[in-house]
């Protein structure tokens, strides 16, 4: 029930029915490499800072860095269990979330709590996002709620999609890298997640069991990149590699962009038993003058 509203928002296609290719090609892509503060929260004697790339939360995948400082001692809190739960509320008062790391991990080298969140939609007049954060110190637990702004993703190379697989599970694919591809073989990184259906009745809001997601394990994301513009004939490129999961939980592969422009990443999601959960093969036929066919599972990108 909780997932339905989210799926209705994020399942919309990444492209319009009639694509304005010239407008897209003129888009300037900026690559962000610096983490800056998105929000600062004061709770009693503690200050919580959350950093993200470009100091902004965007629709799609967001790596986060969170620090907690005791303002009385000016010491950072580095031994707490920190939880992080993003929740979106729509105009009807329905609550949904998106894939996220609920229990943040402390990075001892850089002195922050690390995690990620995939925002499935941006903030607008009919919906808003809040962060529910908890931590403990000296035997006492603190809980804070903070409203945030999630902006539309302007970089198509970081698009995402959501869908229901043939197994009935609700999946999310969010592109992580490259932000700004090159005419070359590029490392393609994506997060693949699924919604964990609650097994019991909801407890006191916000009950994390009702907003639980997990990384999909040991799947393969089969890749077939194409240039769908009519003038390009939906041609592909050589030396692409399917995406497989690595130790950090993300999926890595290779996409070979032979020229700049509009590309479609056609996918087929294959589970650990070799079964296709979602996606269709795209014909290898050259189709000049006709907009290229896409897999039922795809993400459109641009560089």
- Asked if 144 contacts 43 with a C-beta cutoff of 8 angstroms, the reply is yes
**CA–CA gap between residue 151 and residue 155 (Å, rounded):** 11
Residue whose pair of structure tokens reads 């190379």 in the numeric block: 157
Q: Where are the domains of the chain?
A: 2-29+155-302, 35-151
pLDDT of 14: 37
List pLDDT tens digits, range 141-188: 999 999 999 999 999 999 999 999 999 999 999 999 999 999 999 999
Counting as low any pLDDT under 50, the low residues of the chain are: 1-17
Residue 171's nearest CA partner among 271, 243, 280 is 271
- Asked if 70 contacts 137 with a C-beta cutoff of 8 angstroms, the reply is yes
Give this prediction's pTM: 0.90
pLDDT of 2: 45
pLDDT of 20: 58
Q: Which CATH number fits domain 35-151: 2.30.29, 2.40.50, 2.60.40, 3.40.1130?
A: 2.60.40
Q: Phi, psi at residue 264, to the nearest 5°?
A: -115, 125
CATH architecture observed for domain 2-29+155-302: Sandwich (2.60)
Residue 243's nearest CA partner among 218, 222, 214, 264 is 222
């Amino acid at each position: 029930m909780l997932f339905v509203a989210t799926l209705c928002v994020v399942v919309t296609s990444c492209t319009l029915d009639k694509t304005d290719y010239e407008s897209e090609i003129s888009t300037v892509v900026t690559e962000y490499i610096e983490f800056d503060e998105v929000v600062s929260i004061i709770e009693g004697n503690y200050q919580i800072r959350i950093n993200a790339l470009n100091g902004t939360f965007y629709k799609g995948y967001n790596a986060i860095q969170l620090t907690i400082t005791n303002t009385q001692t000016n010491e950072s809190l580095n031994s707490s269990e920190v939880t992080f739960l993003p929740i979106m509320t729509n105009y009807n008062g329905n609550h949904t979330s998106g894939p996220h790391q609920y229990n943040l991990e402390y990075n001892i080298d850089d002195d922050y709590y690390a995690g990620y969140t995939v925002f499935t939609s941006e903030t607008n007049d009919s919906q808003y996002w809040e962060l529910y954060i908890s931590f403990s110190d000296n035997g006492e637990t603190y809980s804070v709620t903070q409203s945030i702004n999630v902006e539309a993703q302007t970089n198509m190379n970081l698009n995402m999609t959501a869908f229901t697989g043939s197994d009935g599970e609700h999946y999310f694919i969010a592109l992580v890298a490259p932000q700004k591809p090159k005419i070359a073989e590029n490392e393609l990184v994506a997060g693949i997640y699924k919604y964990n259906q609650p097994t019991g009745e909801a407890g006191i809001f916000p009950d994390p069991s009702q907003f639980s997601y997990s990384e999909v394990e040991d799947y393969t994301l089969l890749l077939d990149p194409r240039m769908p513009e009519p003038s390009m004939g939906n041609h592909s490129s050589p030396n692409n590699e399917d995406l497989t999961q690595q130790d950090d939980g993300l999926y890595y592969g290779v996409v070979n962009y032979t020229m700049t422009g509009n590309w479609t990443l056609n996918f087929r999601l294959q589970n650990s038993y070799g079964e296709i959960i979602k996606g269709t093969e795209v014909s290898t036929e050259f189709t000049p003058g006709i907009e290229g066919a896409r897999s039922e599972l795809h993400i459109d990108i641009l560089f």
